[in-house]
Chain A
Amino acid sequence: MDISTQHTDAAPPTPRPGPDARTRTSRGASRTGDRIFLGLSRGSGILLLVIMAAIAVFLAYRASLAISKDHGSFLTTFEWNTNILPPQFGIAVLAFGTVVSSVIAMALAVPVAVGIALFLTHYAPRRLSGPIAYVIDLLAAVPSIVYGLWGALVLVPHLSGLYGWLDHYFGWTGVLSWQGGAARSLLTVGILLAIMILPIITNVSREVFRQVPRMHEEAALALGATRWEVVRMSVLPFGRSGVISASMLGLGRALGETMAVATVLSPTFDIKASLLDPGGGTFAQNIASKFNEATEFGQDALIASGLVLFVITLIVNGAARMIINRRKEYSGANA
């Protein structure tokens, strides 16, 4: 119904009778025009697919050049020596670091992001929620290198207090022990990544929560439910798949984040038992840190690790999108 009202608003500026007379006389020309235009637009659609395919093919080709000369095992070697003969490199440490830091980031960010999304849609006073949503959008626009700079020069010094406390009370677990020194560890990276992926998870969850049918909520309210019970009984079940896919989009971001990790982490090529001690590495960070000194072969080896990252993010993002799309068809939103 609102389409029809706006239609009358939007209609006046558009009809331009002038050119029509000409096109009517040259119908053949217009049909060629149509064909050219369709060709152009379909061509760019196909070009996008070609680019995606080309990314996979070229990365795989250069990666195969490197892996075939690798004298360690690409999957399990705990080293990255591409300049020695024979070269030995493997992605075990990188895979570990990437997974651990992303999991930490998800564990911290998802609950908070869902909380903020609920805050914006169901708790905040109306006057507040608009500006806050706006600020969160801006937060998403802050470049990752700035997060990195802030993380390395502000966050790291501030975390040593927390790390000392964790070590004091939970050091006996081994996972949370700390030997002192700068807090440039995988846990720090995870915290920073959590801050960085918070906006995207919040935004997507907020959209989903906003689509919850008003009737569901009112039905719950009419039964005497408190606000929390409304959220638990109608909002969260409706939004579950949306939150899952939002988290996976955030996970995709966290997995591929480069500069923030490269500035904050002090990398080593081994796996530390403690999350608090500096060391470890991630795929993207390793590429950025090693690139400047890499020979052409070294670059190929880095491309091989990039290919692994590409495949992982492809799977994560593809799965997230599939969940979102299924939801879309089901809910009839976004008509």
Chain B
Amino acid sequence: MTTPAVTDKSAGSLHGARLPKWFPVAAVAGSLVVAVAIGLGAGLQSRVQWGLIAAVLAVLSTYVVAARVEGRRQARDRIATSLVWVCFLVAVIPLASLIWATVKRGVKVLDGYFLSHSMAGVADTQPGGGIYHALLGTLEQVGLATLIAVPIGVLTAIYLVEYGRGRLARAVTFFVDVMTGIPSIVAGLFVLSFWILILQMGYSGFAGSLALSILMMPVVVRSTEEMLKLVPNELREASLALGVPKWRTILKVVLPTSIGGIVTGVMLAIARITGETAPVLLLVWGTNFINTNPFQDPQGSLPLYIYQQYANSSGSGAAYDRAWAAALTLIAFVMILNLVARGIARWKAPKTGR
């Protein structure tokens, strides 16, 4: 499977000359060694520079060797392969660094006391305090947002899949897509202009949930729609043929069949809005005290807490520690939601089919 140009190297065989399988590994290892040698020799401080030199060396040496042995086209193929690998590695570095930093710095103050106490009476630069008020606020705000967004989202998806024909359905589909891309701060500004500035309702957890529900709705619609589309038409037809009215068919046949996927979608949507900071910043305002009532007065919120600990810390280590610990809590919460949601999806998948 190669060009005649290189066959002269191994006359009589159908293959052109090929580099051995271990060659890419050897090239990478070799260039790493050389890069470390250069780095030490030239006294380069940064490990990132070593890595860059190694990457450049690996790509170049692969190209040169492959071009000599295998021919230009194969060499180009190898260079593309190594570039694609480099892309992947480049993307992994920040992720690994982010997780590492959050875990390493977060575990310092994260304990039972941190989870069960508020910031009442703790100055920003002092150590101590906790995230209880923020955790409570976030749970209430996200819960309310879910209560608002899920019924509307699921019903809209049902409309689009089961009833939707013509202009209205197309308009709804299009705007749901567009709505997915609304910046969270714009959703916050909308609720600010309408709920707080015009209706004069004041900052509260509920105002935050209104904005969060706007962000959540399109995600729920999208995922539910995909799940409903997977329900085989034969099931609907069987039910309708038995004389069951359409609405009962939907409630008793279509929804139960796809419930696993819908729950997954809702949980992913919850995971997404839990980390939203901007609308909470504009609408919930934040407080250091425990406020259990989401309908009145400012509340705390976990993402907002991270921001405030960072912004008001004036460089103090205690506040940064709290910010990292809160970030670790938030990531853990979001990741667990994600994992559970995907678990449900996998567990339910064989029954709903694809």
Q: Which A residues lie at the B interface, using CB under 8 A?
A: 2-4, 6-7, 9-11, 13-17, 19-20, 23-24, 30-31, 33-34, 36-38, 40-49, 51-52, 54-55, 58-59, 61-62, 111-112, 114-116, 118-119, 123-124, 132, 134-139, 141-150, 152-155, 158, 161-162, 195, 198, 202, 224, 226-229, 231, 249, 252-253, 255-259, 262-263, 284, 287-288, 291, 296, 299-300, 302-303, 306, 309-310, 313-314, 316-318, 320-321, 325
Q: Are A147 and B98 in contact (CB under 8 A)?
A: yes
Q: Which of B97, B197, B303 contacts A299 (CB 8 A)?
A: B197
The 0/1 profile, CB within 8 Å of A marked 1, for residues 177-197 of chain B is: 111111111110110111001
Known: A52-B178, A55-B182. Is A41-B351 also a contact (CB below 8 A)? Answer: no
Tell whether B156 is near chain A: CB-to-CB under 8 Å: yes
A15–B235 Cα distance when bound, in Å, is: 9
Tell whether B275 is near chain A: CB-to-CB under 8 Å: yes
Chain A residue numbers with a CB within 8 Å of B235 are 7, 10-11, 14
The 0/1 profile, CB within 8 Å of A marked 1, for residues 146-172 of chain B is: 000001110110111011100011011
Chain B residue numbers with a CB within 8 Å of A146 are 98, 102, 275, 306, 327, 330-331
Q: Are B306 and A256 in contact (CB under 8 A)?
A: no
Q: Distance in Å from the Cβ of A317 to the closest Cβ of chain B?
A: 3
Interface of A: prevailing SS: helix
Q: Are B351 and A10 in contact (CB under 8 A)?
A: yes
Chain A residue numbers with a CB within 8 Å of B182 are 55, 256, 310, 313
Stretch at the interface among B30-38, B56-64, B83-91, B115-123: B83-91
Q: Are B186 and A48 in contact (CB under 8 A)?
A: no
Chain A residue numbers with a CB within 8 Å of B275 are 141-146
Give the residue name and chain of the A residue nearest to B70 (CB): A226
Q: Are B87 and A116 in contact (CB under 8 A)?
A: yes
Tell whether B48 is near chain A: CB-to-CB under 8 Å: yes
Q: Are A48 and B244 in contact (CB under 8 A)?
A: no
Q: Are B217 and A59 in contact (CB under 8 A)?
A: no
Q: Are B190 and A55 in contact (CB under 8 A)?
A: yes
Q: Are A259 and B46 in contact (CB under 8 A)?
A: no
Interface of B: prevailing SS: helix
A325–B303 Cα distance when bound, in Å, is: 35
A316–B186 Cα distance when bound, in Å, is: 15
A147–B186 Cα distance when bound, in Å, is: 20
Q: Which of A134, A142, A255, A288 contacts B281 (CB 8 A)?
A: A288
A198–B95 Cα distance when bound, in Å, is: 11
A82–B108 Cα distance when bound, in Å, is: 42
Q: Are A263 and B197 in contact (CB under 8 A)?
A: no
Chain B residue numbers with a CB within 8 Å of A263 are 307, 310-311
Q: Are B232 and A149 in contact (CB under 8 A)?
A: no
Q: Are A45 and B198 in contact (CB under 8 A)?
A: no
List 19 additional A-B contacts (Cβ < 8 Å) besides A48-B156, A288-B281: A3-B353, A7-B235, A15-B242, A23-B243, A31-B245, A45-B172, A48-B175, A61-B193, A112-B87, A115-B84, A123-B85, A134-B342, A137-B338, A141-B335, A141-B338, A142-B334, A143-B331, A145-B330, A228-B79
Q: Are B274 and A313 in contact (CB under 8 A)?
A: no
Q: Are A34 and B245 in contact (CB under 8 A)?
A: yes
Tell whether B292 is near chain A: CB-to-CB under 8 Å: no
Chain B residue numbers with a CB within 8 Å of A3 are 232, 234, 353
Q: Are B178 and A317 in contact (CB under 8 A)?
A: yes
Q: Distance in Å from the Cβ of A321 to the closest Cβ of chain B?
A: 4
Q: Are B84 and A118 in contact (CB under 8 A)?
A: yes
Chain A residue numbers with a CB within 8 Å of B180 are 317
Q: Are A258 and B327 in contact (CB under 8 A)?
A: no
A162–B51 Cα distance when bound, in Å, is: 13
Ranked 8 nearest A-B pairs via Cβ: A143-B275, A256-B183, A115-B87, A6-B353, A317-B181, A37-B247, A41-B159, A226-B77
The 0/1 profile, CB within 8 Å of A marked 1, for residues 261-275 of chain B is: 000000010011011
Task: Show 15 residue pairs from A and B whose CB-CB distance is below 8 angstroms, ordered by the A residue.
Answer: A10-B351, A13-B256, A19-B244, A46-B172, A52-B178, A59-B193, A119-B84, A141-B268, A141-B275, A161-B49, A224-B1, A253-B181, A258-B185, A302-B189, A318-B178
The 0/1 profile, CB within 8 Å of A marked 1, for residues 291-327 of chain B is: 0000000000001001100110000000010011001
Chain A residue numbers with a CB within 8 Å of B1 are 224
Chain B residue numbers with a CB within 8 Å of A300 are 197
Q: Distance in Å from the Cβ of A158 to the closest Cβ of chain B?
A: 8
Tell whether B126 is near chain A: CB-to-CB under 8 Å: no
Q: Which of A2, A58, A115, A124 contacts B193 (CB 8 A)?
A: A58
Chain B residue numbers with a CB within 8 Å of A162 are 48
Q: Distance in Å from the Cβ of B278 to the closest Cβ of chain A?
A: 4
Q: Distance in Å from the Cβ of A73 to the closest Cβ of chain B?
A: 22
Q: Are A288 and B278 in contact (CB under 8 A)?
A: yes
Give the residue name and chain of the B residue nearest to A143 (CB): B275
Q: Distance in Å from the Cβ of A149 to the closest Cβ of chain B?
A: 5
Chain B residue numbers with a CB within 8 Å of A153 are 101, 310, 320
Chain A residue numbers with a CB within 8 Å of B310 are 148-149, 152-153, 263
Tell whether B250 is near chain A: CB-to-CB under 8 Å: yes
The 0/1 profile, CB within 8 Å of A marked 1, for residues 64-102 of chain B is: 000000000110110111011111101100110110011
